[in-house]
Protein backbone atom coordinates (compact mmCIF):
# COMPACT_ATOMS: atom_id res chain seq x y z
CA UNK A 1 0.00 0.00 0.00
CA UNK A 2 2.73 2.43 1.06
CA UNK A 3 4.77 1.45 -1.97
CA UNK A 4 1.87 2.26 -4.28
CA UNK A 5 1.35 5.66 -2.63
CA UNK A 6 5.04 6.49 -2.95
CA UNK A 7 5.03 5.39 -6.57
CA UNK A 8 2.03 7.59 -7.37
CA UNK A 9 3.63 10.55 -5.55
CA UNK A 10 6.85 10.19 -7.55
CA UNK A 11 4.86 9.98 -10.78
CA UNK A 12 2.90 13.15 -9.93
CA UNK A 13 6.15 14.92 -8.99
CA UNK A 14 7.71 14.00 -12.34
CA UNK A 15 4.66 15.33 -14.20
CA UNK A 16 4.83 18.57 -12.20
CA UNK A 17 8.51 19.01 -13.02
CA UNK A 18 7.84 18.39 -16.72
CA UNK A 19 5.03 20.98 -16.67
CA UNK A 20 7.21 23.57 -14.89
CA UNK A 21 10.04 23.05 -17.39
CA UNK A 22 7.54 23.39 -20.26
CA UNK A 23 6.21 26.67 -18.88
CA UNK A 24 9.71 28.04 -18.29
CA UNK A 25 10.75 27.23 -21.86
CA UNK A 26 7.72 28.95 -23.39
CA UNK A 27 8.61 32.28 -24.90
CA UNK A 28 6.40 35.18 -23.79
CA UNK A 29 4.00 36.95 -26.14
CA UNK A 30 5.10 40.53 -26.74
CA UNK A 31 2.30 43.11 -26.73
CA UNK A 32 3.01 46.65 -27.95
CA UNK A 33 0.56 49.28 -26.70
CA UNK A 34 0.90 52.53 -28.64
CA UNK A 35 -0.03 55.45 -26.41
CA UNK A 36 -0.07 59.24 -26.13
CA UNK A 37 -1.59 60.16 -22.77
CA UNK A 38 -0.91 63.90 -23.00
CA UNK A 39 -1.89 64.91 -26.52
CA UNK A 40 -0.87 68.03 -28.43
CA UNK A 41 -3.65 70.65 -28.71
CA UNK A 42 -3.40 70.84 -32.51
CA UNK A 43 -5.85 69.01 -34.75
CA UNK A 44 -5.25 65.90 -36.82
CA UNK A 45 -5.64 66.08 -40.57
CA UNK A 46 -9.25 64.94 -40.26
CA UNK A 47 -10.36 66.78 -37.13
CA UNK A 48 -9.96 67.06 -33.36
CA UNK A 49 -7.04 65.00 -32.02
CA UNK A 50 -8.89 63.72 -28.96
CA UNK A 51 -12.11 64.37 -27.08
CA UNK A 52 -10.64 62.84 -23.94
CA UNK A 53 -8.61 64.42 -21.14
CA UNK A 54 -5.23 62.97 -20.10
CA UNK A 55 -6.92 61.49 -17.01
CA UNK A 56 -9.53 59.75 -19.16
CA UNK A 57 -6.87 58.53 -21.58
CA UNK A 58 -4.82 57.19 -18.67
CA UNK A 59 -7.80 55.30 -17.22
CA UNK A 60 -8.68 53.88 -20.65
CA UNK A 61 -5.09 52.67 -21.08
CA UNK A 62 -5.20 51.01 -17.65
CA UNK A 63 -8.21 49.12 -18.99
CA UNK A 64 -6.16 48.14 -22.07
CA UNK A 65 -3.40 46.72 -19.86
CA UNK A 66 -5.80 44.80 -17.64
CA UNK A 67 -7.50 43.27 -20.69
CA UNK A 68 -4.16 42.14 -22.11
CA UNK A 69 -3.26 40.55 -18.78
CA UNK A 70 -6.59 38.73 -18.81
CA UNK A 71 -6.72 37.52 -22.41
CA UNK A 72 -3.10 37.08 -23.60
CA UNK A 73 -1.16 34.12 -22.19
CA UNK A 74 2.27 34.89 -20.75
CA UNK A 75 2.24 38.54 -21.94
CA UNK A 76 5.27 40.83 -22.00
CA UNK A 77 3.68 44.28 -22.18
CA UNK A 78 5.58 47.21 -23.68
CA UNK A 79 3.99 50.66 -23.57
CA UNK A 80 5.26 52.88 -26.39
CA UNK A 81 4.56 56.32 -24.95
CA UNK A 82 4.53 59.44 -27.10
CA UNK A 83 4.25 61.95 -24.25
CA UNK A 84 5.88 62.64 -20.90
CA UNK A 85 4.21 60.72 -18.08
CA UNK A 86 4.09 61.87 -14.49
CA UNK A 87 5.78 59.69 -11.89
CA UNK A 88 2.39 58.50 -10.61
CA UNK A 89 1.20 57.63 -14.14
CA UNK A 90 4.34 55.62 -14.85
CA UNK A 91 4.09 53.85 -11.49
CA UNK A 92 0.42 53.09 -12.10
CA UNK A 93 1.13 51.47 -15.47
CA UNK A 94 3.94 49.35 -14.07
CA UNK A 95 1.82 48.20 -11.14
CA UNK A 96 -0.82 47.01 -13.59
CA UNK A 97 1.71 44.82 -15.41
CA UNK A 98 3.64 46.92 -17.94
CA UNK A 99 7.11 45.40 -18.16
CA UNK A 100 8.76 48.19 -20.11
CA UNK A 101 7.92 51.78 -21.10
CA UNK A 102 9.62 53.09 -24.23
CA UNK A 103 9.44 56.88 -24.39
CA UNK A 104 9.64 58.56 -27.78
CA UNK A 105 8.04 62.00 -27.22
CA UNK A 106 11.27 63.88 -27.85
CA UNK A 107 12.74 61.70 -30.60
CA UNK A 108 9.49 61.55 -32.63
CA UNK A 109 7.94 64.88 -31.65
CA UNK A 110 7.52 65.96 -35.28
CA UNK A 111 5.34 62.95 -36.05
CA UNK A 112 3.49 62.54 -32.75
CA UNK A 113 2.38 66.18 -32.67
CA UNK A 114 1.82 66.29 -36.43
CA UNK A 115 -1.45 65.99 -38.36
CA UNK A 116 -1.00 62.37 -39.50
CA UNK A 117 -1.84 59.82 -36.80
CA UNK A 118 -0.82 56.66 -38.68
CA UNK A 119 2.58 58.09 -39.63
CA UNK A 120 3.16 58.73 -35.93
CA UNK A 121 2.12 55.22 -34.87
CA UNK A 122 4.32 53.47 -37.43
CA UNK A 123 7.31 55.59 -36.43
CA UNK A 124 6.62 54.73 -32.80
CA UNK A 125 6.45 51.00 -33.58
CA UNK A 126 9.71 51.01 -35.53
CA UNK A 127 11.38 53.05 -32.77
CA UNK A 128 10.34 50.40 -30.23
CA UNK A 129 11.22 47.42 -32.43
CA UNK A 130 14.81 48.67 -32.65
CA UNK A 131 15.04 48.45 -28.87
CA UNK A 132 13.61 44.94 -28.57
CA UNK A 133 14.95 41.54 -29.59
CA UNK A 134 11.85 40.11 -31.22
CA UNK A 135 13.40 36.64 -31.43
CA UNK A 136 12.84 36.34 -27.68
CA UNK A 137 9.07 36.26 -28.19
CA UNK A 138 6.59 33.73 -29.51
CA UNK A 139 4.35 36.39 -31.08
CA UNK A 140 4.13 40.17 -31.39
CA UNK A 141 0.77 41.86 -30.94
CA UNK A 142 -0.06 45.53 -31.39
CA UNK A 143 -3.06 47.16 -29.78
CA UNK A 144 -3.75 50.85 -30.11
CA UNK A 145 -3.80 52.63 -26.77
CA UNK A 146 -7.18 52.91 -25.03
CA UNK A 147 -8.71 50.01 -26.96
CA UNK A 148 -9.05 46.77 -25.05
CA UNK A 149 -9.70 43.06 -25.52
CA UNK A 150 -13.29 42.25 -24.61
CA UNK A 151 -14.66 38.91 -23.39
CA UNK A 152 -15.39 38.08 -27.04
CA UNK A 153 -11.63 37.80 -27.62
CA UNK A 154 -10.28 34.25 -27.67
CA UNK A 155 -6.49 33.97 -28.05
CA UNK A 156 -6.59 30.22 -28.70
CA UNK A 157 -9.26 30.36 -31.39
CA UNK A 158 -6.70 31.20 -34.09
CA UNK A 159 -3.41 29.55 -34.95
CA UNK A 160 -0.24 31.27 -33.74
CA UNK A 161 1.42 30.14 -36.96
CA UNK A 162 -0.41 32.73 -39.03
CA UNK A 163 -0.71 36.49 -38.80
CA UNK A 164 -4.01 37.49 -37.22
CA UNK A 165 -5.92 40.49 -38.58
CA UNK A 166 -9.55 41.39 -38.75
CA UNK A 167 -9.99 41.87 -42.48
CA UNK A 168 -12.85 42.64 -44.79
CA UNK A 169 -14.33 39.87 -46.89
CA UNK A 170 -12.36 39.11 -50.09
CA UNK A 171 -11.73 40.43 -52.67
CA UNK A 172 -11.13 43.45 -50.39
CA UNK A 173 -7.65 43.42 -48.84
CA UNK A 174 -8.35 46.04 -46.15
CA UNK A 175 -7.34 45.00 -42.62
CA UNK A 176 -8.22 46.70 -39.34
CA UNK A 177 -5.09 47.65 -37.39
CA UNK A 178 -6.47 48.51 -33.95
CA UNK A 179 -5.24 45.07 -32.95
CA UNK A 180 -3.23 42.44 -34.80
CA UNK A 181 -0.88 39.56 -34.01
CA UNK A 182 2.27 38.52 -35.87
CA UNK A 183 3.95 35.09 -35.44
CA UNK A 184 7.72 34.76 -35.11
CA UNK A 185 8.31 33.58 -38.68
CA UNK A 186 6.95 36.88 -40.06
CA UNK A 187 8.87 39.37 -37.89
CA UNK A 188 11.17 40.45 -40.72
CA UNK A 189 8.28 40.79 -43.15
CA UNK A 190 6.34 42.83 -40.60
CA UNK A 191 9.21 45.25 -40.02
CA UNK A 192 9.80 45.68 -43.75
CA UNK A 193 6.10 46.47 -44.32
CA UNK A 194 6.25 49.24 -41.72
CA UNK A 195 9.45 50.65 -43.21
CA UNK A 196 8.01 50.51 -46.73
CA UNK A 197 4.94 52.49 -45.67
CA UNK A 198 7.15 55.37 -44.56
CA UNK A 199 8.94 55.51 -47.92
CA UNK A 200 5.89 56.80 -49.81
CA UNK A 201 7.00 60.19 -51.26
CA UNK A 202 3.78 61.89 -50.14
CA UNK A 203 4.26 60.54 -46.63
CA UNK A 204 7.83 61.81 -46.62
CA UNK A 205 6.85 65.33 -47.67
CA UNK A 206 4.01 65.41 -45.14
CA UNK A 207 1.10 65.75 -47.58
CA UNK A 208 -0.38 62.31 -46.94
CA UNK A 209 -1.13 59.99 -44.02
CA UNK A 210 -0.61 56.23 -44.25
CA UNK A 211 -3.67 54.13 -44.98
CA UNK A 212 -2.75 51.46 -42.44
CA UNK A 213 -5.68 49.24 -43.43
CA UNK A 214 -3.98 48.76 -46.81
CA UNK A 215 -0.32 48.31 -45.91
CA UNK A 216 -0.51 44.65 -44.92
CA UNK A 217 -1.54 43.41 -48.35
CA UNK A 218 2.00 42.01 -48.63
CA UNK A 219 0.75 39.17 -46.44
CA UNK A 220 -0.73 36.63 -48.83
CA UNK A 221 -4.17 35.22 -48.02
CA UNK A 222 -2.56 31.96 -46.98
CA UNK A 223 -0.45 33.86 -44.44
CA UNK A 224 -3.21 35.69 -42.63
CA UNK A 225 -6.52 34.92 -41.03
CA UNK A 226 -9.37 36.86 -42.59
CA UNK A 227 -12.18 37.53 -40.16
CA UNK A 228 -14.75 39.08 -42.47
CA UNK A 229 -17.61 40.74 -40.62
CA UNK A 230 -17.42 38.73 -37.38
CA UNK A 231 -16.42 40.22 -34.03
CA UNK A 232 -12.86 39.43 -32.90
CA UNK A 233 -13.26 41.15 -29.53
CA UNK A 234 -11.38 44.47 -29.73
CA UNK A 235 -13.32 47.32 -28.20
CA UNK A 236 -12.77 51.00 -27.44
CA UNK A 237 -13.48 54.62 -28.24
CA UNK A 238 -12.37 56.50 -31.36
CA UNK A 239 -10.60 59.51 -29.80
CA UNK A 240 -11.57 62.24 -32.28
CA UNK A 241 -15.26 61.21 -32.27
CA UNK A 242 -15.86 59.73 -28.83
CA UNK A 243 -17.68 56.82 -30.48
CA UNK A 244 -17.38 53.29 -29.06
CA UNK A 245 -16.65 50.49 -31.53
CA UNK A 246 -16.03 46.75 -31.31
CA UNK A 247 -14.19 44.80 -33.99
Going from the C-alpha of 53 to that of each of 14, 22, 34, 38, 45, the distances in angstroms are 54, 44, 17, 8, 20
How much is the pLDDT for 112? 96
Residue 168 in domain: yes
Q: Is the pLDDT of residue 73 over 80?
A: yes
pTM beyond 0.85: yes
How much is the pLDDT for 21? 42
The set of residues, in sequence order, having a beta carbon less than 8 Å from that of 75 and lying 6+ positions away, is 28, 29, 30, 31, 68, 69, 97
How much is the pLDDT for 245? 80
Residue 63 in domain: yes
The set of residues, in sequence order, having a beta carbon less than 8 Å from that of 145 and lying 6+ positions away, is 33, 34, 35, 36, 57, 60, 61, 64, 79
Q: Is the pLDDT of residue 218 over 80?
A: no
Residue 147 in domain: yes
Residue 59 in domain: yes
- The whole-angstrom separation of Cα 110 and Cα 123 is 10
Residue 238 in domain: yes
The sign one gets for the Cα dihedral 30, 61, 150, 173 is: negative
pLDDT band at 23 (very low <50, low <70, confident <90, very high): very low
How much is the pLDDT for 17? 57
48-54 average pLDDT score: 92
pLDDT band at 238 (very low <50, low <70, confident <90, very high): confident
Share of residues in the chain with pLDDT > 90 (%):
59
How much is the pLDDT for 59? 96
Residue 10 in domain: no
- Using an 8 Å Cβ cutoff, are 206 and 13 in contact? no
Q: Residue 92 belongs to a domain with what CATH number?
A: 3.90.550
Q: Is the pLDDT of residue 82 over 90?
A: yes
Total domains, the chain: 1
Residue 190 in domain: yes
Range of the domain at 229: 29-246
Residue 1 in domain: no
112-131 average pLDDT score: 96
Amino acid sequence: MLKNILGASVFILILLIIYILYVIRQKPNLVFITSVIHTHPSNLSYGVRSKYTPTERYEQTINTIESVQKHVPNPFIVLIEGSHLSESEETGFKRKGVHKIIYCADELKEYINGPHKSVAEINMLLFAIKQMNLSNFETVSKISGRYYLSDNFDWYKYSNKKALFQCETPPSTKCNTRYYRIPAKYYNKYTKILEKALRDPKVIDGTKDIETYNIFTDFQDSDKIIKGESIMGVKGYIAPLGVEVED
